[in-house]
Structure 1
Amino acid sequence: MILLISDLHLQEERPDITRAFLDLLDGRARHAKALYILGDFFDAWIGDDAMTPFQQSICQALRTLSDSGTAIYLMHGNRDFLIGQDFCKTAGCTLLTDPSVVELGGEPVLLMHGDTLCTRDVAYMKLRRYLRNPLSLWILRHLPRSTRQKLARKLRSESQAQVRMKNTEIVDVTPDEVPKVMSEHSVRTLIHGHTHRPALHKLVVEGQPARRIVLGDWDRRGWALQVDDQGMHLAPFEFS
């Protein structure tokens, strides 16, 4: 069994989500061969050198799961793209590039956070290119912690305001971008998060049946995609 989750947006202000995640680690994830976390694991991350006690506790929980035998793979999201190798080494997880092709259920599957599929959001794509530039990343990581904290709060506030104002189509994936990306990577299954619109979309790529599975965000309930001998099953679960 393999589990895939995304968009938990872990933060101290949402202990219900934290408890649900820790329950998953102590439950299904203990019996899984691997756990994939496809971005926006934390609601904000200003650097491995600035971990709060809360973030350190999550790091230790991941290490405990890793030590039990479950492989953990982590992908950057738009909220936590400053997560680095120091965190991953301590947590016992592997940092995946976005996008990545992995084998799930006996087939190659494309994994993405999903934000790069939203090409109609021109302003965001421009900001993303700037923030992910290697020079920008170096500068961000070397800013004083207080400056990084202020910048993170500003970016988060602006992002929330812009999402509320933008047309829903703009902040969703661009339909033409999906088959293009899948064709480039020679896959018939794409799994991503980011849009907070969990669903299974059937489509055709190069004349062949294909599917796009969108993971859900953890807010009023949790979401997990389970891959096992019976196939791929996306389902929500209530917070205890």
Structure 2
Amino acid sequence: MSTLLISDLHLHPGAPAITEGFLAWLDRRARGAEALYILGDFFEAWIGDDLLDLGEADPTGNAALARRIAGALKARADDGTAIYLMHGNRDFLLGERFADEAGARLLPDPSVVTLGDERVLLMHGDSLCTRDEAYMAFRSRARDPQWQAQILAMPIPERLALAKQLRDQSGEANSNKAEDIMDVTPDEVVEALREHGVTTLIHGHTHRPAVHQLELDGTPARRIVLGDWQPDRGWEIEVAPGQAPVLRDVALAG
């Protein structure tokens, strides 16, 4: 039984092809998997678990999407696949209620888990992008429980509007940033590996899928980066028993 890892699907009602592709992938690839790790930015935005209470009349389509995705994950969990959800920079308000309805467990960022015979560090990846000082300031605020409580106390329409505003601001800001600023800081990668006593790091966030060979205090190490999903293709890492992690792009069938 293999373990699968994915990241950065950015599911939202305006991208139905990605949703259909993921659901087909979940049925085809994750059926029978030992575990599935979703390393953040599963949703393009998440305004709070009370979104699940909205009826079919929800004009945005977010509630229906959330319930459909939760149901599909729960079906895999009921079949015996352990499902883990990590917060990303887009869906940091994902809570225990959604996780329960999806048959999943929330996974702290960072986390060290055993994949195959190896201890591996899992992260979303945004905390490694320390050269982007403006984003790091926002990240610090967005992870503050008091700030989150204030956001969750707002009416749902206001939260939806705020999420759109933040996405628009992020897109505009990123268009003016140098490419290297939005990538991970190499020294942060080395420090994270050293701090957690591992030689393999898996993350998403940067949308730059690759396997990077490193050296950590004279020992070979690696950083494996998951890619983001598009209407026709996604990215996965598979860890089969006794084998090293394999990064691959997969064709999606909606």
Alignment-derived partner of residue 87 in structure 1 = 98
Alignment-derived partner of residue 114 in structure 2 = 103
Alignment-derived partner of residue 154 in structure 1 = 165
Alignment-derived partner of residue 163 in structure 1 = 174
Give the SS at the match of 1:45: coil
1:39-58 equivalences under 5 Å are 39-51=40-52, 52-58=63-69
Which stretch of structure 1 is more off in the superposition, 197-206 or 212-221?
Answer: 212-221
- 2:9 matched to 1:8? yes
- 2:229 matched to 1:223? no
Give the SS at the match of 2:45: coil
State the Cα RMSD in Å.
0.9
Alignment-derived partner of residue 73 in structure 2 = 62
Whole-Å Cα distance in 2 between the matches of residues 35 and 142 of structure 1?
32
The runs of at least 4 aligned residues of structure 1 exceeding 3 Å deviation read: none
- 2:30 matched to 1:19? no
Give the SS at the match of 1:29: coil
Alignment-derived partner of residue 115 in structure 1 = 126
- What percent identity do the matched residue pairs reach? 55
- 1:105-142 Cα distance to aligned partner (Å, 9 max, x none): 21110000000000000000001101111111111111
Alignment gaps of 5+ in structure 2: 53-62
Give the SS at the match of 1:78: coil
Q: Give 1:231 deviation, angstroms.
A: 2.2
* Structure 2 contact 124–203 (Cα < 8 Å) conserved: yes
**TM-score using structure 1 length:** 0.98
Whole-Å Cα distance in 1 between the matches of residues 32 and 157 of structure 2?
40
**TM-score using structure 2 length:** 0.93
Count of residues paired in the alignment: 240
Which stretch of structure 1 is more off in the superposition, 12-21 or 112-121?
Answer: 12-21
- 1:208-238 Cα distance to aligned partner (Å, 9 max, x none): 1000000010025100000003321110012
Alignment-derived partner of residue 75 in structure 1 = 86
One-letter amino acid of the structure 2 residue matched with residue 69 of structure 1: G
